[in-house]
Structure 1
Amino acid sequence: MALEIVTVPCLSDNYAFIAHDPATGATAVVDVPETSPILNALRDRGWKASHILITHHHADHVDGVKALAAATGAKVVGAAADANRLPSLDIAVAEGDVVRIGIEEARVMEVPGHTVGHVAYHFPVAAVAFTGDTLMALGCGRVFEGTMEQMWTSLSRLAALPPQTLICSGHEYTLTNGRFALTIEPDNPELVKRVEAVRVAREQGRPTVPSTLAEELATNPFLRAGEPAIKRTLKMEGASDAEVFAEIRRRKDRF
């Protein structure tokens, strides 16, 4: 049986995720912006958190970790490289490490850029990746601590996962991201269609996260920096993909 994934809205525009292994009852919570919505979601399903997986140190992803761990006894997992900025860790992980949630295994991917210690968790059998603020629906996180080159490398690694992978990212920014994406690739029919679907979903109060990697590869400008049409639009035909990505990210920062 595959992991059951629950998207939990938190704060004003954050998401936490619950990943439940029905075979064993093991349950991971990925990022904890606040505690009560997650506890309510667990209680409604009769689940108990066994692990808390942290993607990065920003307060809107970790503020509820201590309280959730105290309430559930869950083991806290996060990047060894960022342990000094994270809540107290029970399991410190690095690139290539494996975290077992019941019979499911997550591979740890170091994906710096948004922060230098950002990690993602990829469950290859369940075909799901928790990408925090690195790869987002129709977007990517701001490059706060790392470099543009690091962020492009991180996004390229995530883009190389199987296209059916479910991408669970940390925020409900999709509509704004989509509006920006249309300034980069206005003639992409898949993008036009997706932005309209996102608009309808938000009007109905439905989350637009998670998405599939296939959707992101077809519509997310930050993964499409190598597309000749985008390079022509930006008048950067001779530039590297990384340089084009950096220009797109700078434009989004000003959008």
Structure 2
Amino acid sequence: MALKKFLKYLVFVMLITALGFLYSFSSARNHQKKVSEISIEFEQGNNNFLTHLMVNKLLIQNEETVKNRTKSKLNLYGLENKVLKNPYVESATVFLTIGGQLKTVIKQRVPVARVIVKNDSYYVDKQGVKVPLSNNYSVRVLLVSGVKNDKEINEILPLISFILGDNFLQKEIVGIEKSDVNEYQFAVRSGDYKIDFGNLTEVDVKFKKLKAFYNKAFEDKTIQNYKAINLKYHNQVVCTK
């Protein structure tokens, strides 16, 4: 009886030892596997700030390409952080497949406005993150002027989101200008007139007034008679000819 127990124990130990050896052997072989291919995927979207070639140049380790490098010498965390530092990248994942393919999945930033200042111009995305202009790609977005700092950019983001969330307003309003007294004026697509929006109070009420006015003005074709449309006054739209 004692002998049977001993034999069972011996078989168990030998099995564990064999499995441990096989795992170590397999792990060692896996670490010595080389990167066979670099695959770059961009998540769905219309932005083309980055090209496959540009991302390939980011996937450099110790000034050398990672292709044909062994897995053991690969710093995936470092490569991922390098890609994430690119100003056009919102999120990125870098990982190795079982077959030895180095895969990079990238989501590019989506600009919602272009901010124009004295000697500079840049995009901002929906989080207010600044995105530099690109020689590779240009985006048609709202033009914003008069904002001086990050705080003022963050203050105007809800207004931009409201405009972009409405199909009509998104097509009609092409520019926003902030004045020194924290009031806003819109440039529009349908004419040379300006819309005086006032401050950022009762935003939804003001846009409802504007849409109601537009319905009438477009219907009777009088919209081109106006030089300015003022939404600042309560329950009324004041127009200047």
Q: TM-score range with shorter-chain normalisation?
A: under 0.3
- TM-score normalised over the length of structure 2: 0.27
More contact order relative to length (CA 8 Å, sep ≥ 6): 1
Larger radius of gyration: 2
- TM-score normalised over the length of structure 1: 0.26
